[in-house]
Amino acid sequence: MTAKLTKDYIVNQIKRNIRGDDRKLDEMRELTIERGVSANAEGSARVKLGKTEVIAGIKMDLAEPYPDSQDKGVLTSSAEFLPLAAPEFEAGRPGEVEVELGRVVDRGIREAEVIDFKKLCIVEGEKVWRVFMDIVVINHDGNLMDASGLAAMAAILDAKMPTIDKEYKIDYNKREKPLPLTTIALPITVMKCGNKLIIDTTADEEEAIDTRLTVTTNESGNISSMQKGGPGGFTVEEIVEICKIAGKKTDELIKKHFKSKKK
């Protein structure tokens, strides 16, 4: 069976509401979130979404604030496809897919104001906490956006801030308070196949269908970030429908995996 035939087969099955792993179109794969996977990080989490595996980590240090937000902490993000995660991943400068992944996850957290950056200001205009949010992909079996967003959110919740002395020297061994938070926000990516909408796609499915909309929703059900990807297009109705799916799924995920752990 050639690659083309496989793709056609996957598409035809999806049109009949059938997926390779017997899931429903709007059903996520099994999700496990393990926190504290790298003790040297302020916070970290490993997310397994089916066979997709992503680790996110939070590191913190002190930096100058940006000129246009002198009283706020700073967020710096990166996403990296480790060469071990898939045969097609190459070491070297991050490609455009990695850049987009990092920026979409970053904006989801930033625009939802998940972290209360005003509380990360130490001396206005001079010294603020800088939060590094790094995402590494360990195994790529599709839906890296949602897995990365889940890992980032879990790492943020896992994080304990290091302490500083009077001379602003950081003690990474004495980590005390959690990061100040205002909400929880998660991305849900919905892909389009003919007139079907499908979530949490595997790598095989993403070979066959490629147009997606990622919607980040917060605890209150509001949308903080959207990003369309892939060559195809959407109608207004589809976009609204996708927003609703994302809202519903985010709500379920927060209830099941985050709610109890947030204070």
Q: Rule CB under 8 A: which of 43-102 touch another protein?
A: 44, 51, 53, 55, 57-59, 61, 66-68, 78, 80, 82-87, 91, 93-94, 96-97, 99-100, 102
Told to check if 251 binds another protein by CB under 8 A, we report no
Return the range that interacts with another protein (CB under 8 A); candidates 5-13, 15-23, 144-152, 226-234.
226-234
* Those residues with Cβ within 8 angstroms of residue 43's Cβ, 6 or more apart along the chain or in another chain: 35, 36, 57, 58, 155, 156, 157, 158, 159, 160, 179
Told to check if 28 binds another protein by CB under 8 A, we report no
Round to whole Å and give the CA distance between 210 and 24: 18
Burial of 54 from C-beta contacts in 10 A (0-12 / 13-18 / 19+): buried
Told to check if 222 binds another protein by CB under 8 A, we report yes
Q: Which amino acid is present at 91?
A: A
Token reading at 94? 């991050």
Return the range that interacts with another protein (CB under 8 A); candidates 10-18, 31-39, 143-151, 190-198.
31-39
Q: Which amino acid is present at 84?
A: L
Q: Which of 173, 195, 260, 263 binds another protein (CB under 8 A)?
A: 173
The nearer residue to another protein, 17 or 194, going by C-beta atoms, is 194
Count of C-beta atoms within a 10 Å radius of residue 92 = 7
Interaction with another protein in 98-157: which residues (CB under 8 A)?
99-100, 102-103, 107, 111-113, 132, 134, 136, 138-141
Least spacing, CB of residue 115 vs another protein, in Å = 15
Told to check if 166 binds another protein by CB under 8 A, we report no
Least spacing, CB of residue 105 vs another protein, in Å = 12
Least spacing, CB of residue 64 vs another protein, in Å = 13
Told to check if 197 binds another protein by CB under 8 A, we report no
The nearer residue to another protein, 17 or 95, going by C-beta atoms, is 95
Token reading at 130? 């800088």
Least spacing, CB of residue 30 vs another protein, in Å = 13
Helix (H, G, I), strand (E, B) or coil at 143: coil
Residue 24 DSSP class: -
Count of C-beta atoms within a 10 Å radius of residue 26 = 13
- Decide if 42 contacts 120 (C-beta within 8 A): no
